[in-house]
Structure 1
Amino acid sequence: MSGPQPRRTGRWREALAGVAAAAVAAGLGELAAAVAAPESGPVVVVGAALVDLAPPWAKDAAIGLFGTADKLALIGGILLVLLAVSGAAGVLEARRPPWGRVVFIALGVVGAVAAATRSGAGPLAVLPSLVAGAAGALAVTLLVRRLPEPDQNRRRFLAWAGGSAALGLLAALAGTALQTGRRAVQALRDAVVLPRPTTTAIIPAGAALDVDGLTPLITPNADFYRIDTALRVPEIDPSGWRLRIHGLVAREVTITWDELLALPLAESTTTLACVSNEVGGSLIGTAVWLGHPIRELLARAEPTAEADMVLSRSIDGFTASTPLAVLQDDRDAILAVGMNGEPLPLEHGFPVRMVVPGLYGYVSATKWVTELEVTRFDEASAYWTDRGWSERGPVKLSSRIDVPRRGQALTAGRIVVAGVAWHQHVGIAAVDVQIDDGPWRPARLATAISADTWVQWRYDWADASAGSHTLRVRATSADGEVQTAVEQGVVPDGATGLHTVDVEVG
């Protein structure tokens, strides 16, 4: 009989051969990415493809389970699947050659296709995945040939397997060392000196309530939620950044980083919210932003009469559809360069992002923005609207209880109930609290910074009795709308319902 013969040497050793081969493949793939195509590491491009292909329910499930750690969970899941598949490939190569090699080559091809189809993919984008596939196929072949027979010493094989895995790790570390772009861009970001704002944001007296456990009025940068589609944070040298405004305009406009910083930059305080924020959720935050009005730049380009939408594009290919009228009215819709007194963090869009009060982020808050295409809703669509979400996305009236928390030890008598309420670009007129099924009682509102920010509130529950209780909150907006109790999920345009907290009073 011709050709390689199947071997019977123990499945765990065969699987170990496949896993060690995967380590070699991943390490050499990342090293190739560092040398030839830094944005096209095999794990990142496959993960990005999965994000793009995921249906809305899968995205919501991931955010619901893992919150802002959804990207880490996705990468971890990819690695676990890779381990399982590579282990199976080792068994196949030992028992049904050459099918183990075929598995690794197929994985490389899948990664190459994912890399080639990404926005802005260069001619070398496919190389890291192809290198990984070829390296995995070669490694699994060599390791399977060194599998010991049942009566042979196994230490030599374990040394080969361990050495192969170490080679993969060293290659990955070398790739990381070569990818100095993030450190370089971080240094550039740290060196940026933002211009003095023409207008400084003012936080009025009484805007922040002194209640332990209440969400801070201004969210620190490190605590600000991050939900986007970028598995690898884009690294943009601001000196090479450009914003292009084109489409249904009288003239195209291009602006550079230096030109943007030379324009009048004003501070404004705005609350941003993710459409995936469940009732009572934490995917919302408030910051003091520094930027230039988008309406001023649009005025330079002179949108034509038939235009009704601006399709913003990120450098990583993400798009958002924003109503043109929103970007042209008097709200603080800005190209932001600063956040809470410092340049934008890399994760929040450095060097430039959009901030638009009153709209969920998926239709307005494009990070790493490089393009504004003036167009029409009936002629173009954006990343999430292509996946079943509403095309306009106004923020819904909502409120949340921060204090007391579920499980917090409470004592009968006076208990402070407190939280935040928001309806960006409309404002909050009142907040009411209900204890069990009793009457709605008015809470005390802090002084609002503006209609574009959340407002803190507190209610003094003076006669809390021992036992189990349910707390509810509802808000009334400045235009008279009362927050609905009708429960709706986040798809397609944001969750509704009343936040409730069950507590035990001792």
Structure 2
Amino acid sequence: MTTDTVTSSDRTKTVRRPHAWIWAALAGIVSAAVLLAVAEALAALVARSASPILAVGSFIVDIVPRPLKELAITLFGEADKIALLAGVGLGAAVAAAVAGALEYRFRFVGVALLGIGGALATAAIVTRTGAGGLSWLPPVVGTLAGVVMLLLAIVRLRRWVAAATAENAPAAGADRRQFLLLTGLTAVGAVVVGIGARVLNAATSSVAAARDALRLPAARTTVTVPEGANWDIEGLSPIITPNGDFYRVDTALTVPNVDPTTWRLSIEGMVDTPVELSFDDLVGMGLDEYGVTLTCVSNEVGGGLVGNAIWTGVPIRDVLRMAGVQGDADMVLSESVDGYTASTPLSSLTDENLDAIFAVAMNGEPLPFEHGFPVRMVVPGLYGYVSATKWVTKLTVTRFDQAEAYWTPRGYSAEAPIKMSSRVDTPKIGSPVAAGTVVIAGMAWAQPVGVQKVEVSIDDGDWQQTQLSTPINDQSWVQWKLDWNAEPGSHYIAVRATDKQGNLQIQDQAPIAPDGSSGWQRTLVTVSS
């Protein structure tokens, strides 16, 4: 800061000239915080889905090119949504700071910029699937509140600067206090109201209570994990993935809260009779358990975006049979409550030998919210993006040449069978092991055929057949292990699988797009002396 000294008859006073553009930028950020806080508070009262940050974030998810999505998953994994929201928040703060600086320099320009931001947020909200009649209200009122705050703050800042320039110390001090009190108290209030509203939005939801109170009918048939299916080896994935450890990859920035008492599933399109089912209708058809491994198309060779669970549900083919599928159909377009869509071959849903289901429970409890409560699809042998729709609410029976799903125009194949794969879980890269007998172990999957054998090659030597755990079924993964006499030094471990039809795992390396990665994992292991 610069200073001027004013000499009076009895004392010398120092008047500090504020760095106006810094304080103007701060005023812009606080004004944006007011916008968001008011919008969040109103959203909690009248339209829970009308959060500007979440709406803009969802819009970005929809328009970001495929390579950037893949990069985000690679860099942040399941934290990609947190990273996106942080990025949206940072971008909003920068834009708000610019608006504040411009408003100080050019009257009403910053207000216009803030208004444009509010208008864009409003457009993002009202165009989302499921937007209600009052979804426009929170962002509009929030924008008005933000504009008023910006105007008030800049007026006080101009007074402060004018008084300091005129070397009027008492007036400058008073105007400075007014500006700082206005921005400081408003900022604190915006943070408290914004966070409180978001917490209230989640806490007042009755869906959590509905899930806790839900009592599903007993399954008519159950899955028994056979003896020898699960080895307790340090570092080796369990044969049944706990719900809390199961991977999550989807396009929902916030987990939808769907009340099972109001949930409906509609079957329409190329059917003889459209069908609508309630949750009670669905579970009333009879529940059964199924052991199925799910894999994300974003899973790299050796990656962890794969998991196995015991799912409880109803065969999709039974529901489709109620509607009467017409002969020309070859695809089912499933839709989530948040508008996400997936294209699944009709044959995969009607095959009597495949356990494609509407799942309502996972590992003995109602579906966790992040895994699709109250109902999701589980289809063996297909990557999740073309089959495993969470929070499913509609199936449209159609054709591949007449409709496309969310990921198809974004560079992924319309049909995507899971590629057979195997991986090394232990020993891990970067974790040296002692010389002597070392257990090499991992997982392998080959849906829906099943794994016949897994082989390991050390330092490009002969392939050695491993021991397989007892499989639950052909739709679930298996564990494998091999005792290795490890000698000091660095060694490469390669793994490959063969399915029960004699097909060898694809050796050629391929990226995750357009239809899943492939290749043999090759791991570097250090053995200490």
Q: If the TM-score is normalised by the length of the shorter chain, which range does it land in? A: over 0.9
Number of the residue aligned with 2:50: 40
Contact preservation (8 Å) 1:111, 1:126: no
Q: TM-score, normalised by structure 2?
A: 0.92
Q: Distance in 2 between matches of 1:226 and 1:156?
A: 48
Match of 2:229 among 207, 210, 223: 207
Number of the residue aligned with 2:469: 446
- Residue 409 of structure 1 deviates from its aligned partner by 2.6
Q: Distance in 1 between matches of 2:32 and 2:219?
A: 52
Q: Distance in 1 between matches of 2:490 and 2:154?
A: 63
Q: Secondary structure at the match of 1:46?
A: helix
Equivalent residue pairs, number: 499
- Residue 11 of structure 1 deviates from its aligned partner by 2.6
Answering whether residue 158 of structure 2 is matched by residue 135 of structure 1, we say no
Q: Which moved more, 1:288-297 or 1:406-415?
A: 406-415
Gaps of 5+ in 2: 1-16
Name the CA shift for 1:26/1:394 in 2 (closer, same or farther; >3 Å).
same
Number of the residue aligned with 1:167: 189
Answering whether residue 481 of structure 2 is matched by residue 458 of structure 1, we say yes
Number of the residue aligned with 2:415: 392
Q: Distance in 1 between matches of 2:75 and 2:46?
A: 36
Q: Secondary structure at the match of 1:52?
A: helix
The letter for the 2-side match of 1:302 is G
Contact preservation (8 Å) 1:104, 1:134: no
Q: Secondary structure at the match of 2:433?
A: coil
The letter for the 2-side match of 1:254 is E
Contact preservation (8 Å) 1:416, 1:460: yes
Gaps of 5+ in 1: 1-6
Deviations 1:288-339 (A, max 9, x none): 0000111111111110110111111111111111100110112111111100
Q: Distance in 2 between matches of 1:222 and 1:54?
A: 29
Q: Distance in 1 between matches of 2:118 and 2:19?
A: 27
Number of the residue aligned with 2:11: none
Q: Distance in 2 between matches of 1:75 and 1:182?
A: 23
Deviations 1:169-228 (A, max 9, x none): 232244235425764101100111111100011111111122111011111111111111
The letter for the 1-side match of 2:474 is A
The letter for the 1-side match of 2:219 is P
Q: Distance in 2 between matches of 1:346 and 1:132?
A: 29
Q: Which moved more, 1:111-120 or 1:151-160?
A: 151-160
Q: Distance in 1 between matches of 2:301 and 2:220?
A: 37
Q: Distance in 1 between matches of 2:318 and 2:44?
A: 40
Answering whether residue 422 of structure 2 is matched by residue 412 of structure 1, we say no
Match of 2:382 among 332, 338, 359: 359
Name the CA shift for 1:113/1:22 in 2 (closer, same or farther; >3 Å).
same
Name the CA shift for 1:195/1:117 in 2 (closer, same or farther; >3 Å).
same
Number of the residue aligned with 2:103: 93
Q: Which moved more, 1:348-357 or 1:148-157?
A: 148-157
- Residue 164 of structure 1 deviates from its aligned partner by 1.1
The letter for the 2-side match of 1:281 is G
Deviations 1:377-411 (A, max 9, x none): 11111111121210111000111111011111311
Q: Which moved more, 1:393-402 or 1:132-141?
A: 132-141
Q: CA RMSD in A?
A: 1.5
Q: Distance in 2 between matches of 1:141 and 1:9?
A: 18
Number of the residue aligned with 1:70: 80
Q: Distance in 2 between matches of 1:470 and 1:132?
A: 58
Q: Distance in 2 between matches of 1:155 and 1:503?
A: 64
Number of the residue aligned with 1:377: 400
Deviations 1:349-398 (A, max 9, x none): 11111110000010100111111111111111111112121011100011
Number of the residue aligned with 1:328: 350
Number of the residue aligned with 1:3: none
Identity %: 48
Name the CA shift for 1:181/1:234 in 2 (closer, same or farther; >3 Å).
farther
Q: TM-score, normalised by structure 1?
A: 0.96
- Residue 123 of structure 1 deviates from its aligned partner by 2.5
Number of the residue aligned with 2:365: 342
Number of the residue aligned with 1:431: 454
Flag the structure with larger Rg. 2
- Residue 501 of structure 1 deviates from its aligned partner by 1.7
Q: Distance in 2 between matches of 1:73 and 1:178?
A: 23
Number of the residue aligned with 1:498: 520
The letter for the 1-side match of 2:281 is E
Number of the residue aligned with 1:157: 179
Contact preservation (8 Å) 1:8, 1:95: no
Answering whether residue 208 of structure 2 is matched by residue 198 of structure 1, we say no
The letter for the 2-side match of 1:198 is R
Number of the residue aligned with 2:492: 470
